[in-house]
Copies of this chain bind each other. A is one copy, B any other.
Amino acid sequence: MNGAAGAHYDEGVSEIIELARRARVASYALAEASRATKDAALRAMAGALRANTDTIVAANAKDVAAAREAGTPESTVDRLALNPSRVDGMAAGLEQLAGLADPVGEVVRGYTLPNGLELRQVRVPFGVVGIIYEARPNVTADAAGICLKSGNAVLLRGSSSAAASNDAIIAVLREAAESAGLPADVVQGVPTDRAAVKELMQARGLVDVLIPRGGAGLIQTVVSESSVPVIETGVGNCHVYIDADADLDLGLEILLNSKTQRPSVCNAAESLLVHASVADEFLGRALPALAAAGVTVHGDPAVVAAGKDVVAATEEDFGTEYNSLDLSAAVVGSLEDAVQHIRRYSSGHTDAIITRSQAAARRFTQAVDSAAVVVNASTRFTDGGEFGFGAEIGISTQKLHARGPMGLPEMTSTKYVVTGEGQIRS
């Protein structure tokens, strides 16, 4: 678990194992650092990012030029590109973290046992966290900050196409952490070759948790290949179900917001279900409104029959997270049919019901087993910021450890502290 589990790496130590060991050593100091020290480090990191804006933007320009030369789509280049305003945004994010409560040391539960032993369950850092992510250099500062505040040393494995940007940012963050009295190794970059990521996924005992942040392909690879425990984030095939008792005005507004307010993100709606008893009226209004908003509807036969410009949906459509202005749609005969459909196709991220019926809301929220189940509101609210967490490392769609938006407490484990005066078992 701790040092012992790393012992079998002794021979032929690779660069990754060496990085992970340094992270482990740094994690001991970080775990014991006071909130004051950690917040000072976060503010120092923010200041250093701002002071080194020119260096960071210049490094980023190399990545951007290489990406353009390689014919990278402009939307990807946009996520990769930094400018002084974006660097300032990264710094502001770190300062915001400094203002949040420290999860470490929180007593989750505590009581005295019949034999007088005092039991406390206390939040502690995981130790060493690995983040595997794509070509978004802002994630580098963001993830480093969240890990630092939650007491975890971090191994940042970004994309090779953002390597110059990440190297520049990490160098700045490390120096700033050290200036605040923490080991520089609380933040480390990991080589971007494939062999390195494979080793990272096998470093069980040295790395406590891996969090992949990015597309479905990346996440699937990490989930299936890692022997280090993984927190799966992200995929959102989110549903909006218009119940027989729905307020249709409200339903239409929520549907449009869920689908079109930011279609590329995981909490955007991808599928519409409408109760048969209100299908004619609702689709008669919704289909033109969706078309006007640029949305292509992929409908089942009942939806196709209800409007023009509806594309016939395939089975695959209902299981698809489009992340675009596309929407699958079906008419269901009952609330139970809607539940069955969601059980079959939902990715377990966010599913919403629009209804005035207390019984329907209660049934839906009980029967639909997703990270977030929403009544009469947009699916777009499933977000650490919107939930008031102040910071978010991702949205977990797995059931183990954390589910839904993950803030600082979700980046911790716990330990039991048991205090006695000589108690023994008989």
Chain A interface residues toward B at CB < 8 A: 1-5, 7, 28, 31-32, 111, 113-114, 117, 119, 121, 124, 126-127, 204, 208-209, 223-224, 227, 229-231, 235, 237, 247, 250, 253-254, 257-258, 261, 319, 342-349, 361, 365-367, 369-378, 380-382, 386-388, 397-401, 403-404, 413-426
Contact = CB atoms under 8 A, between A and B. Distances in A.
Nearest to A111: B388
Given A32-B366, A119-B388, 12 more contacts: A1-B346, A1-B349, A1-B370, A2-B343, A3-B343, A3-B344, A4-B346, A32-B367, A229-B230, A229-B398, A380-B424, A381-B423
A404 B237 CA distance: 35
Contacts of A28: 343, 367
B377 A117 contact: yes
A261 B425 contact: yes
A111 B111 CA distance: 25
Contacts of A224: 204, 227
Contacts of A403: 413-416
Q: A-side binding surface: helix, strand, loop or mixed?
A: mixed
Contacts of A121: 404
Nearest to A366: B32
A211 to B, nearest CB: 11
Cβ-closest 8 pairs across A and B: A377-B420, A1-B348, A257-B424, A3-B344, A399-B413, A401-B401, A377-B423, A380-B425
A425 B381 CA distance: 7
Contacts of A114: 388
A64 B51 CA distance: 74
Contact of A373 (B2, B31, B416, B422): B416
Nearest to A120: B365
Contacts of A404: 121, 414-416
A400 B231 contact: yes
Copies of this chain held together in the complex: 2
A281 to B, nearest CB: 18
B343 A253 contact: no
A370 B418 CA distance: 12
A370 B415 contact: yes
Contact of A31 (B230, B342, B369, B380): B369
Given A1-B397, A28-B367, A403-B414, A424 B378 contact: yes
A374 B343 contact: no
Given A377-B424, A422-B376, A415 B371 contact: yes
Contacts of A373: 415-418
11 contacts: A2-B369, A4-B347, A28-B367, A117-B377, A124-B369, A372-B418, A377-B420, A381-B418, A400-B401, A400-B413, A403-B413
Contact of A2 (B231, B344, B376): B344
A163 B124 CA distance: 41
Contact of A119 (B261, B342, B345, B387): B387
Given A373-B415, A415-B372, A250 B344 contact: no
A300 B318 CA distance: 65
Contacts of A414: 403-404
Residue with the greatest number of chain B CB neighbours at <10 A, chosen from A2, A121, A230, A365 = A2
Nearest to A414: B403
Contacts of A345: 3-4
Contact of A418 (B3, B230, B235, B375): B375
